[in-house]
Structure 1
Amino acid sequence: MDTMLGVTILASEYVIGCDGDGGRIDSLGVDENGSPVVVEYKRGTDSGVINQGLYYLSWLLAHRDAFRALVRERLGAPAASQILWSAPRLICVAGGFTRYDAHAVREHRRSIDLVRYRYYGDDHIGLETVASVTGLSGTVKRSRRQESGQRGVRQPGGALAELAEAVDEVLLGVGDGVTRVQRKQYVAYQRLCNFACVPPPQQTKLLIYLKANPKKVELIPGFTRNVTRVGHHGTGNLEVQLRTERDLERAQDLFRFSYAAA
């Protein structure tokens, strides 16, 4: 779950009751940003997995105390206090989906990922995102530069603020299905899993943490750093330091590499 979906599992076959009707959530967890996640599985192609998952997601949002207690029991009180209720997610994993399924999820105001599994021989399995929609507000898909322009005011902060706006625009446009998730300590850019996390700008530079494996890239002093054993906000073990627009141009291959890894 953690490696392939970016989800820390809390329970499997979690029994619920909803207005007299019971059920079992296949998997219940939290993602890298603290968002509650319901995961439902089907062996083949079954449109019912989406409606079933939405039923369980509705139950979850109506029973936040029960979920918070589960997180506290499994992960501790600090994790329970950091749950991001603004971005609950449903991940449906199945052998296949139809074009009607992909259309249907776009009509819901929920964050839903349709993920198809494939076996490769007897020992390997792969996951492919078929459709990914966000139930957050429309600003998630717009860059900060676009948002500030619509409001008629500029974001405060000078050159680094402008660089942060440019980074936001590039990360949102690096590939399909990118979602921006705002946390207090950082902004996460998410495919199925986080591929980039950006804390607030420092005095002279902007730091970005990527999913890319530091051992597979050339580390350049003052530009890239392995932070596998270094504490930092957000997820990702490759730190990229940006000071200028030129640094941003140099970093774009790393962004794409990280996006592919997520």
Structure 2
Amino acid sequence: MEVFNLKNNKVEFIELYPFKVEKEIQEIIEKNTDTFFRLEFVRSEFPIGEFRIDTLCFDKETSSFVLIEYKRGSSYSVIDQGYSYLSLMLNNKTEFIVEYNESLNRTLKRDDVDWTQSRIIFISQSFNAYQKNSINFKNMPFELWEIKRFYNETIILNKHISASKENINSISTITNSPIIQSVNKEVSQIDEDAHTSKTDKEIVNKWGELKSKIQELDNTELVSKRQYISLVYNTKILCYFNFRKNLILIEIIRGNINPDGTTSKNYFTINDPEKISSEGSWEWKSGVKGTSYKIKLTNTSDIDYIMFLITQKFKSVAGNRY
């Protein structure tokens, strides 16, 4: 990737400023886990057994632990290390909960954690083709992110996106490993098919129409979680899609109303002349709450009008750039 600085319609090439050691990357990530990944930082260099986890984080949205590992070079297997670390965590759940509570002065309980949503984020300045291909399955509990630094102090993070429809459990050469088998029994990454499978075909067709329009929004991503699919702009959640048998419930994030009647900083007011939305609220398993505008997508819904409402939220977050 090449980066240029634009001034008075003239461009100036910005040179890459590579990181010399992993620690430089680690320090930047750990100070910005919420900004980069919407994760709560727990601890750096967490020792467990014979291993040491580079960065331990917690995902409040899914109420699950996330491990971050930093790599230089390409002489390691993402699959082998990833599953070894997940197995280590699943066999030492108490230690992770104790570390979370002691580091953050919280009272997280074992049953509060959704271990099925556990995952690992690998961060490197580059990954080779073998490493990228090794996670090309639709339900892998791993993410690969390439990080680049430039001389103007710009940082770029790119996530490797798999387009594969193949389920890792169908690959016997991989799942013959006892460690992988044990992890896959407990860790289950949810994809879009798991949501649409319980929804009527007519509604799924409507969802396909809406999704094609949503994908035209720059810098957005549809992220599948256990209970919903979320639409994310950079690291900010715009709305949730909850799949039911006869409809899809869309919750556009509104913001919070404080006890004194004032609203949160980024409070969003929708322009809905047809009045198809209703006021609602949402709550993550971790207890994080917010208010929303609820919209029902049915087989008679006007997709263009629903997209008009979603785009309002997108523009309110993206600002004057769109």
TM over 0.5, shorter chain = yes
Measured at CA, do residues 56 and 108 of structure 1 come closer, stay the same or move farther in structure 2, by a change above 3 Å?
farther
Measured at CA, do residues 109 and 33 of structure 1 come closer, stay the same or move farther in structure 2, by a change above 3 Å?
closer
Residue 33 of structure 1 aligns to a residue whose secondary structure is: coil
170-179 or 63-72, which deviates more: 170-179
1:63 to 73, 92, 104: 92
* Contact kept in structure 1, 2:190 and 2:226, CA below 8 Å: no
Match of 1:12 in 2: 44
Deviation at residue 190 of structure 1 after TM alignment: 6.8
| Alpha-carbon distance in 2 for matches of 1:127, 1:211 | 28
1:28 to 56, 61, 74: 56
Deviation at residue 177 of structure 1 after TM alignment: 7.1
CA RMSD of aligned residues (A): 4.6
Match of 1:125 in 2: 155
* Contact kept in structure 2, 1:194 and 1:211, CA below 8 Å: no
1:148 is aligned with what amino acid?
K
Are residues 1:148 and 2:198 paired?
A: yes
Measured at CA, do residues 197 and 177 of structure 1 come closer, stay the same or move farther in structure 2, by a change above 3 Å?
closer
C-alpha distance after superposition, 1:94-123 (max 9, x if no partner): 001112111111369641110011113343
* Contact kept in structure 2, 1:167 and 1:248, CA below 8 Å: no
Residue 59 of structure 1 aligns to a residue whose secondary structure is: helix
Measured at CA, do residues 26 and 258 of structure 1 come closer, stay the same or move farther in structure 2, by a change above 3 Å?
farther
2:124 is aligned with what amino acid?
A
The 5 Å alignment of 1:231-250 reads: 232-234=282-284, 239-243=292-296, 245-246=301-302, 247-250=305-308
Are residues 1:189 and 2:230 paired?
A: yes
Residue 99 of structure 2 aligns to a residue whose secondary structure is: helix
1:33 is aligned with what amino acid?
T
- Gapped runs of 5+ residues in structure 1? 156-161
The 5 Å alignment of 1:57-206 reads: 57-73=86-102, 74=104, 76-78=106-108, 81-106=111-136, 110-131=140-161, 140-142=191-193, 144-145=195-196, 147-148=197-198, 166=206, 170=210, 174-175=214-215, 178-183=222-227, 187-189=228-230, 195=237, 196-198=239-241, 206=249
167-176 or 57-66, which deviates more: 167-176
Give aligned-pair identity as a percent: 17
- Gapped runs of 5+ residues in structure 2? 1-32, 168-183, 256-264
* Contact kept in structure 2, 1:26 and 1:41, CA below 8 Å: yes
